[in-house]
Amino acid sequence: MGQETNAQNLKEMRMEMTQLKRDLSELNRKKEAAFKEKQERKQKMLACLKELREVKNDLITSKKKRQELKQKRDEFNKKSRELIILAKQKQSEWKKLSEKHGVRLSSEGIRQKIGKLDEKIETEALQFDAEKKIMESIKLLKKKLTGMESLKSVRHDALDLSRNIEQARTQADALHQELLVSVSDSAVKYTHLKELNVNLKSLKK
């Protein structure tokens, strides 16, 4: 009877030891899993923090870039407005000179006419009144030629201003488009920044 009891006790002790080993193994498995999960969470938090810093730095850089783009765009718009004022002044000057000197003859045509009159004086025996009349005509033509040269110069300046206005507008438009792209890009990054903050808070729980 005593031997049977001892055998039963021994069997129960062995079963208990086996169960304890199983429990200890399960506990170690859970501890390892918890440690692994903690390490993974820590790595995710570090990665999230790193990305947060990068996105924040990108947003700061983008903001600075937008300020520079806006300043340059405004400078070109200001330049364009100033050039338009100058162009209007040149157009007014052109109109006044055109009305004063006329535009039916080119400067080359006037030179040819002066040359023919000079040749007439040199090659023909003219009476004093006729020569005087021709000399007055030459004087008027030379005055007109000076006016035509001024007219040509004003026209050239006006064309230059027109080209410069177009260039300033093109550059201002290009900078404005670049500014819009930067704003759109920053909006996407800002949304991503909020998502990262939400993820970080959930990882800290």
Q: How distant is the alpha carbon of residue 191 from its chain centre?
A: 23
Instruction: Please report, for residues 67, 109, 146, 147, 172, the alpha-carbon distance to residue 154 in angstroms, rounded to integers and kept in the order given.
Output: 38, 19, 12, 10, 27
Angle of helix 128-204 versus helix 107-123 axis, rounded to 10: 160
Phi, psi (5° rounding) for residue 104?
Answer: -75, -30
Evaluate whether 110 touches 137 at the Cβ level (below 8 Å).
no
For residue 132, what pLDDT is reported?
86
Q: Considering only the C-alpha atoms of the chain, give the largest distance between any 2 of them, rounded to a whole number of Å.
A: 173
pLDDT of residue 26: 87
Does the structure show a pLDDT above 70 at 1? no
Phi-psi region of 201 (alpha: psi -120 to 50; beta: other; left: phi over 0): alpha
| Averaged pLDDT score across all residues of the chain | 83
**Whole-angstrom Cα distance, residue 95 to residue 29?**
96
pLDDT digits (tens, 9 = 90+) for 48-62: 889 989 999 999 999
Whole-number Cα distances in Å, 167 to 68, 77, 82, 161, 173: 19, 11, 13, 10, 10
C-alpha angle 191/194/198, rounded to 5°?
A: 140
CB 57 within 8 A of CB 189: no
pLDDT tens column, 88-117: 888 787 777 666 655 555 667 778 888 888
Task: Write 105-113 long-range contacts (CB < 8 A, 24+).
Answer: 105/144, 105/148, 106/148, 107/145, 107/148, 107/149, 107/152, 110/141, 110/144, 110/145, 110/148, 111/145, 113/141
Q: How confident is the model at residue 71 (pLDDT cuts 50, 70, 90)?
A: very high
C-alpha atoms less than 13 angstroms from C-alpha of 173 in its C-beta half-sphere: 6
Q: Do 110 and 148 contact (CB within 8 A), yes or no?
A: yes
* Segment 36-58 mean pLDDT: 89
* pLDDT tens-digit map of 113-172: 888 888 888 888 778 788 888 888 888 878 777 767 776 777 788 888 888 889 988 999
> Which contiguous run of DSSP H or E holds residue 15?
helix 2-101
Grade residue 4 by pLDDT with cuts at 50, 70 and 90: low
